[in-house]
Amino acid sequence: MNIGKIYRFLVITFFMSWLLALIFYLSGLQFVGLWGTVFGVVYMFMPFLGVVIVQKLEGKPVFAPMGIKWKINWWWVLALLLPALLAAMAMGVALLFPGVEYSPEMAGLFERFSDLLSPQDIEQMETQLAEMPLNPFLLTLLQGLLFGLTINAVAGFGEEAGWRGFLQKEMQSLGFWKSAFFIGIIWGLWHAPLILQGHNYPNYPLLGIIMMVIWCILLSPIFGYIRIKTRSVIGPSILHGSLNANFGLSLMYISGGSELTVGMAGLAGFIVLGLANLVIFLLDRNPGKIET
């Protein structure tokens, strides 16, 4: 494990990312709407840029450590479908919580997204859902899978090139679970400026940082496992894209609770992700390492 190289990557990536977040904050723009989306996508590519800079500084091939391979296997399909399944399970778990109820009118979905989207975007979403020719859940799922495989996967690659392409490979001598744990902490802390600006936990910006770190720790083994099994960073990029695209499914038919308790990034999601990690541990005690 090259500690110096890892350190340089983290310093460069965090510096660029947090500086970008500071500039966005000082500009007076809000992390909602079009500008919020643009900022979020650019922010997601900072880990990719961090790898590029580190490799350039060492005079080595830029894309070599990212693990970009296109040989498809069935694990790619799982990477696409798994987030939707986890989101549906998180919605089911949330219904077991006090004060959380089933809402066929999708009141909870609009309530949660009101903190992330502008009133005009919320109104447009309501209109689109009302005019859907299919069941809203089914159509949202299909759209989520489409975006997860395409646009969102491209944005997800910006992060995954750094976390699962470069960092997981550099840290894999620690063992699968230990490296996943440390990458999860790093990944979660990297999100801190976004959380402070209202991402995922708009009503709990400080506590939200802790929640985000926990969430990333729980997600990290799943992403790392997909990285190993797909033999490519494209696998976790699809997983990342599908997770972001299908996030709303976990809130679609519930009302009540808060961002700390319901949704994929709340306690309900933590429980589901914990079970997913347990399944990986029970089925594959030794996931192996990234192929070079």
CA of 168: how far to CAs of 58, 82, 186, in Å?
19, 21, 12
pLDDT at 112: 66
Residues 12-45: tens digit of each pLDDT: 999 999 999 999 999 888 777 778 888 989 999 9
Is the pLDDT reported for residue 190 higher than 90? Answer: yes
Nearest to 218 by CA among 246, 176, 181, 179: 181
Give the tokens for residue 20: 């970008």
Nearest to 269 by CA among 94, 90, 83, 89: 90
Mean pLDDT (the chain) is 88
First to last CA, the chain: 14
Tell me, what DSSP letter sits at residue 32? S
pLDDT at 140: 78
Is the pLDDT reported for residue 68 higher than 90? Answer: no
Nearest to 183 by CA among 217, 218, 142, 139: 217
> How many angstroms separate the CA atoms of 60 and 252, rounded?
47
Which of 41-45, 51-55, 284-288 has the lowest average pLDDT? 284-288
pLDDT at 87: 94
pLDDT at 262: 92
**DSSP structure string for 183-215:** HHHHHHHHTHHHHHTTSS-TT-HHHHHHHHHHH
Query: Do 133 and 201 meet the contact criterion of CB atoms below 8 Å apart?
Result: no
Delimit the domains of the chain by residue range: 66-283
Residues 133-168: tens digit of each pLDDT: 667 778 778 888 888 888 899 999 999 999 999 999
Which of 72-76, 93-97, 120-124, 155-159 has the lowest average pLDDT? 120-124
Over residues 278-292, mean pLDDT: 84
Is the pLDDT reported for residue 125 higher than 70? Answer: no
CA neighbours closer than 13 Å in the CB half-sphere of residue 189: 11
Residue of higher predicted confidence among 106 and 132:
106
Query: Do 94 and 263 meet the contact criterion of CB atoms below 8 Å apart?
Result: yes
Is the pLDDT reported for residue 259 higher than 80? Answer: yes
Quote the percentage of the chain above a pLDDT of 90. 55
Over residues 116-126, mean pLDDT: 66
